[in-house]
Structure 1
């Protein structure tokens, strides 16, 4: 009997050693995704777990978005209690690296699961780097876009035969279009004009279209030659409000409601509101036909603010990841990218090039219409002061938003913003 037991044990060990039987790896996952994003991610996790039922199981936890999430990541990683993998805004990579919260992900490891610089748009891939090292893998590209009411644009003669807006490129042409729409709507344009989010994204887009430099190589915010470009961007935004085209002091939710109620012909917001429009239209609650396109080219060339949800591995101090765990985490990151078409239904553009270039995505509307943003994206400055819920966002609320609403001159707004950020950096 003893011999039979010994033979059985040796056989089990042999099977384990050649991979005949694998121990199941549990992957602890943290994200900050709520609303439609949260619903879609939960579905992807369930699908992954079903397909990997015998080998890997994602154990997900959703935490509060923004500063609370990133603070918890930093404090947890410092004592070795962070997750195995997490969602992460690429704009936060510089701060995550400086604080020691992120582990480097080697290009060799990523290549082993079919990921690398050749499978992502160049700017998107580089946004996950710090000093040339990879710390995060892109999952999507989310940017601001221009939503439009097709009925109102058709009445104003601004809709082409293909159902897309016409004559919007150029700051003067865009203003002329707003003037045509002004009479048929409470507002020609709705956007958040109070706070930090949309004002930053619009400003950085208009600034990028002029090749403005936000942070110089020497650490100077708004180098002298870029100040006039920044002022021009703010003047353009302020003109929308002072001209009566867009409402003053409007919070995010109010700006969305102005468009969905039919009170505004245009709406500038992130791609993440596409599900809102889609769901309302499906319920018959929108009351008009809508569409969405990339932000017009107001100045020298196309450029639009963008960020990415990505995947990162925390630098769990004193808790080295086993080769088996690392393999499981890499499989999670790879699988999510290769199955990101479902994620695109939240309005996002897939970061993974084969998915973005697939026929299935090319027929997904309105995403495919604005997918050019993958090639024209300008990601946040690589600074520990920049990124989601950062001092840069605070500075926008303190200076650019007041300038939009006529409470501060654009020139003064940029000069004060420059001084504020420079003081924090020095």
Structure 2
């Protein structure tokens, strides 16, 4: 059913309620078509939020649909919006925003919209608002979280070492050399793969590479040019750091995502670089008493010139639809405002709420390790703003075919960086 038709049905239902003297809310509820790509624990939490919203708002009913994550979701959005059959609201990765801007699939979020939602742009972390805006500063989506990689670590293993502070947090990791020293020590203690992450390619390798590049102040794209100027050398350095760790047996050979998590859980790794979304996994294992050690998570240590961590955001976006009524849009913004103000429940999935009042609350301060690594939100490094970047993008593919092989010794770091530069540059022309 198109949005225009849904609005017509809603108005007719309201008129019928008046004529027949029936209860208005049951007839006049504004129906909101919702699409997301959230599975697993994220999906469970979002469905619970939708259910709670619907229970509190008899005048608005969210009808949720979960679609396949990644490229299939964004392809569905593009084709549906093109024929006027898109949803009223959808979740959206901010790393995909540049492509959405090129395709014209999103409706700008105005100051009036934010007022309807009872929120303002100043309520959000600056990095997330920048990622949610176009080149002119026009807000195109409303950030819901900041999700980044963090450093999980085995507190039990590090007890009594120079790398665990009295407060239980990682310390004395101020350089690549410091990190290598810790990993070398762990290798000597019998940890077969001291630092685990998804090393076979894909998202895991990209996130580590991009963090190391960003900590040098490096940029993948500068004024439309790939690895311009000294960014090339910074990319080579980032790849070299990972390749050196692999050559010394300090990171796993070709570890899949699931295998990298298992290495940490199985006490084969003392450190684990992965997304905040794995916090529930380790919490559940602790509660079930199946982990066998005390763990925690901190922001990725600053090993190079500046603090920086790869990050992305789930956001709420409104598909471009000139037929959307003012009533429908107001209902959508009501949904967005309510979700932001209830984002503490979303933080349970490990994500850092983009809505600062939640992060500043006493309830969030009690949520650990989330509250400890929330500091990364101040210098989150989002994917390059380009149609070739973001979730399920050509840049991720280049990691699979070039960076990961270089980490494992099949290409030199210089060869990988040059081939990546050439391949991605051809896509921008």
Q: Which category of TM-score, normalised to the shorter sequence, fits these structures?
A: over 0.9
**2:3 alignment partner in structure 1:** none
Q: Of the candidates 26, 31, 43, which is equivalent to residue 38 of structure 1?
A: 43
**Mapped pair 1:118 → 2:125:** no
Alpha carbons 1:167, 1:177 under 8 Å: kept: no
Question: Which has the larger displacement, 113-122 or 264-273?
Answer: 113-122
Query: Which 4+ stretches in 1 moved above 4 angstroms?
Result: 9-13, 19-22
Alpha carbons 1:77, 1:315 under 8 Å: kept: yes
**Mapped pair 1:197 → 2:203:** yes
| CA apart distance, 1:188 | 1.1
**2:236 alignment partner in structure 1:** 231
**Mapped pair 1:306 → 2:311:** yes
**2:185 alignment partner in structure 1:** 180
Q: Of the candidates 419, 425, 428, which is equivalent to residue 425 of structure 1?
A: 428
**Mapped pair 1:74 → 2:78:** yes
**1:388 alignment partner in structure 2:** 391
Alignment of 1:13-412 (within 5 A): 23-52=28-57, 54-131=58-135, 132-154=137-159, 156-184=161-189, 185-217=191-223, 219-316=224-321, 320-412=323-415
2:364 and 2:292 mapped to 1: Cα distance? Answer: 27
SS at match of 1:36: helix
The TM-score normalised by the length of structure 1 is 0.93
Structure 1: 5+ residue stretches without partners? 1-8
Question: Which has the larger displacement, 185-194 or 271-280?
Answer: 185-194
Alpha carbons 1:156, 1:180 under 8 Å: kept: no
C-alpha spacing 1:11/1:406, structure 2 compared with 1 (3 Å): closer
| CA apart distance, 1:22 | 8.4
Aligned length: 411
| CA apart distance, 1:182 | 1.1
1:255 and 1:22 mapped to 2: Cα distance? Answer: 52
| CA apart distance, 1:412 | 1.1
Encode CA deviations 1:330-384: one digit per residue, 9 max, x unaligned. 0111110110000000000000010111111111100011000110101111100
Alpha carbons 1:156, 1:181 under 8 Å: kept: no
Structure 2: 5+ residue stretches without partners? 1-14
C-alpha spacing 1:49/1:407, structure 2 compared with 1 (3 Å): same
Encode CA deviations 1:277-321: one digit per residue, 9 max, x unaligned. 0011110111111000000101011100100000011124xx611
Question: Which has the larger displacement, 184-193 or 273-282?
Answer: 184-193
1:10 and 1:335 mapped to 2: Cα distance? Answer: 30
Alpha carbons 2:31, 2:63 under 8 Å: kept: yes
2:166 and 2:116 mapped to 1: Cα distance? Answer: 47
SS at match of 2:201: coil
SS at match of 2:298: strand
| CA apart distance, 1:114 | 2.5
Alpha carbons 2:162, 2:172 under 8 Å: kept: no
Encode CA deviations 1:188-239: one digit per residue, 9 max, x unaligned. 111111121011111111111111121112x111002211111111111111
SS at match of 1:389: coil
